[in-house]
Amino acid sequence: MKVVVDEEKCVAAGQCVAAAMDVFDQREEDGIVVLLDENPPAALAEDVRNAAAVCPALAIRIEE
């Protein structure tokens, strides 16, 4: 699984961090998404898919 984030689209709602905190973080100065792990392990796949599904700005894409 490969994760791609779009910082331009991100609105810093924090939903990705709530869903998968080992994969996503938020930038200190303005809360914009920080991708911690581009290729998360299979064990986190479900959480990461959920993170993408609840991103209100559609800023997370998953390439299987």
Partner 1 sequence: MAESDTRQATEERLYFYQDDRDTTCPFAPPPGLRALNDHAPVTRARIWDGSTPWLVTGHAAQRAILSDPRVSSNDKLAGFPYPNKAMAETAHHHPLTIFNADGADHTRIRRMMTRPFTRPRMEALRPQIQQFTDELIDTMLAGPKPVDLMHALSLPLPSLMICALLGVPYEDHDFFQEHASFATRSDKTTEEQQAANQALGGYLAGLLQKKMGEPTEDVLSDFATRIKDGDLTLPEATLLSMILLIAGHETSANMITLGTALLLDNPGQLARLREIDDTRDVANAVDEILRYLTVATFGQRRIAAEDFTFEGADIKAGDGIIVPLPAGNWDPEAFPEPEKLDLTRKANHHHAFGWGIHQCLGQQLARIELQVVFGTLYRRVPTLRLAVERDALAFRPADALAFGIGELPVTW
Regarding 54 and contact with partner 1 (CB under 8 A), the answer is: yes
**Residue among 6, 21, 41, 61 that touches partner 1 (CB under 8 A):** 21
Coil, strand or helix at 18: helix
**62 contacts 48 by C-beta, under 8 angstroms:** yes
Write down the least CB distance from residue 33 to partner 1, Å: 10
- Looking at 1-64, list the stretches that DSSP marks H as alpha helix, in order from N- to C-terminal side: 15-19, 45-53
Between 4 and 53, CB nearer to partner 1: 53
**Residue among 2, 4, 6, 18 that touches partner 1 (CB under 8 A):** 18
Task: Tokens for 60, please give them.
Answer: 């997370």
